[in-house]
Structure 1
Amino acid sequence: MLKGIPLTVRRSIEIMGLFFLGWLIVLGKGILAPLLMAFFLSIMLLPIYRFFRAKRFPESLSIGTSLFVLILVLGLIIWFFSYQISNLVSDFPVIQENVTQHLKALSAWIEDISPVSTEEQTSFISEQSNRILSYAGNMLSGAALSITGIFVFLGLVPIYIFLLLFYKNLLLRFVFFWFPKENHEKVEGAMREMEVIIKSYLFGLLIQISYITVLLGGILMIIGIKHALLIGVIFAFLNLIPYVGALLGNIIGVLITLASSSELWPIVTVLGVIAAVQFLDNNILMPRIVGSKVKINALASIVGVIVAGEIAGVIGMFLSLPIIAVLKIIFDRAENFKQWGVLFGDERPSRSPMEVPALRQDSEQVDRQLERENDIEPSAKTKS
């Protein structure tokens, strides 16, 4: 469609299109966030849905049963969180005592190395506390809206999942209508690969949450760290947010340990166990579970997490990587957008395109070589 247009004009149109697309996403994030979440969850439920359809269940009953399984799993997760947090709340007097003890020790250390007296420190802490409480009070004015938004989100997602599964054949026909007949094979290949990638990624995340909770929580429990399972499950869920989540998980784990113990050795133990479990997860377990069919480079991942977080908050952070993976699959197959697929990917050349002219051009032979060098499974577009 754009073949007769000069290259510079085409690139300008692409940039403008991306700008307006981003603008529309920001304006419609309240609609798009639950729809995208429902899209990914509906793909994850496809094996359950197909199982019941193979058993000759009616379509609506198959979708309803799949939704029931999803709600049951989410209900168990929420119950587990609530139980662990109630245990933490029941220890509040001990936590208060430990925090006071740590603050006194910190105050004495500051007084030893600086001219700031204990009274001045107490006055400063009191002043800052009042500011924080005032800020929290202002934040509460918008809390009702946030809670309402959460309930609307949770109410829309199951409805969207049901409708996406019920009308999936209609939606697939709609997609094929956008492309000429000679491109239908490519479109079918892209959609099948997207389904495989999304399912392997999301099921991999479920497995990852399970083994991190068991490994981290179990090891900390054996060592004798209080609220070990809560630390494990919080870190497991935050670890789903690429790069940023692991740092937040470490901080929260340290704070829970610091508040639950009057000694400092548990903090070093928690950090050491988290580091060991994370190393095992990143280098051994997760690559084997999710596979390496699509690799997103670290720069695209971090920028994607930050941008998605700005647009849709925590939900956007969780969905950022599967969205980028889907976009990469689409870009790799679109003649006009292959450069964006290269930008998102991790097929890093060992030599500079300034020195090797072959790297400047789109070539299946070069793509295969880069996939071999970076240990990436060949995608459908490069398989012979």
Structure 2
Amino acid sequence: MLLSFAVFLLLLLLGMPVVFAIGIGGLVFFLTQPGLQLTMPVQLALAETQNFSLLAIPTFILASNLMNELGVTRRLLRFAHVVTGFMRGGLAQASVLLGFLMGGVLGSAIADATMQARLLGPEMVRRGYSRGFIAALQGFSGLLAVAIPPSIGLILYGSIGQVSIGQLFAGGIGVGVLLAAVYMLTVALLARSRGYLPETAPPTAKEVGAALREGFFAVLFPFLLLAALRFGVFVPSEVGAAAVVYALLVGLIYRELSLERVNRALAHSVRDVGMVALLIAMAAVLGYGMKWEMFPQQVSAFLLEAVQNPQVALLLILLALLVLGTVLDSTVMIILLTPILVPAAKALGIDLVYFGVLMVMTCAVGLLTPPVGLSMYSVCSVMGCGIGEYVREGWPFLAATLLVLLLVYLFPGVVLFLPRLLFGGGV
């Protein structure tokens, strides 16, 4: 198994795409085990992609792309601007609120950040915001999509780790609300120090009501998901398909449903699903080797023996994830590490819903930090700014993110309050 990991790391250093590095690393394990047949990697990869619980991923991705194409984004932006435009740095505040609202539509930090940079970036430049500030703001605002249902990261963790996706969604909302509030406070402090002024007068109740009516069906989306899961209307694999139907109905209500837009949503979804499915398939090959060598049990035994305090063990795991996130994509980390860390967390007596939300959020921080931050490169490309400028402007938001993770680590109730209220407890 050590040889497989060495090959995997070597291929990464040589610049090979991570999905192929994972697959080849897994294949090396089978080549070095005389008792295992070489047909097994193919069988494992195919079997993993046919896992029924993972069916929620392509359907949620399609629903998200449909809602983005069918006019939801524009309406949510108008609502966010009406609600926050009167604050200092109103357009920046609107960006944070839009990130929170779009998290309930897109479910992907990279998609959320890129969409916001394209939508709000040009206008923010005209209003005097620096390109580095805009890129950092949009990138970190996109992180809200990792916490808000239907977060693809939480679906992956729940499906692979056999943890209730409904409870994970409920737990993510508390973290998303806290993160959005801290980001808005950060923007307010920066706006005051830099002299960013309000852009509109305080809205009237009529204006807020009109804007809310326009975006009502999108705002309602994550709450309908939770209700459907809580009351057993659908299981997670079915609720994604229901979300697709809901997205089409929203497009019909907004009178923006067209064959061209549906085709665009399908094209984006095929690309996104293909990437995730290939990662899952290749990770199954490497994951079999880890199970064969009883790697999850060894990690659990080590943590129980070396670190007897569950909170200290959890802190060490989170710090390791932060470091790994600087060199590995968050999706790869969730797929590879969930089978290892869930048994360890269970053995330590850590609630798996609490652990899952913390793990997924911590892995996602790497999306916004050098050297492999995909969201970082995406927003910098859209905004035409250098990585150095992004890093200089982004450190307050990184500090705010780490503060929220620390608060969630210290106060599990931030995650567990809603799951206990709605479902009667964590896993």
TM range (shorter): under 0.3
Larger Rg: 1
TM-score, normalization: structure 2? 0.24
Instruction: Flag the structure with more relative contact order, 1 or 2, with Cα contacts below 8 A and sequence separation at least 6.
Output: 2
TM-score for both structures, normalised by structure 1: 0.25
